[in-house]
Amino acid sequence: MSNQEEPLSLPQALARIKELEEGFSLLRHDLRGMLSTGMLMADTLANHPEPKVARVSVTVNSMIDRITKRLNESRDLVTSKKNVP
């Protein structure tokens, strides 16, 4: 007896890929929502009278920009594959 699952048929595999794409799309959406709170907090920090605190906003915004870039790359990876025969 083997612990391996049976290979998926082509229609099953395509349905699974679509399911995964939808799941990752929702995840990206949720992560962007969470990051928007961070952006608002960074804006608040940027206006702080203490210069050391205000400089933290630059680091936070940079981190959020890098995460957003990676989210866009993951979206682009999925959408670019749809055009491949």
**What count of Cα atoms within 13 Å lies in the side-chain half-sphere of residue 69?**
6
Whether 15 contacts 9, CB under 8 Å: no
Q: How far is CA 47 from CA 23, 34, 50, 54, 61, in A?
A: 37, 21, 9, 6, 14
pLDDT of residue 82: 58
pLDDT of residue 80: 67
Mean pLDDT in runs of 10 for the chain (85 residues)?
Answer: 77 91 93 94 94 93 94 82 55
pLDDT of residue 64: 95
Whether 84 contacts 37, CB under 8 Å: no
Q: How far apart are the first and last CA of the chain?
A: 37
pTM: 0.70
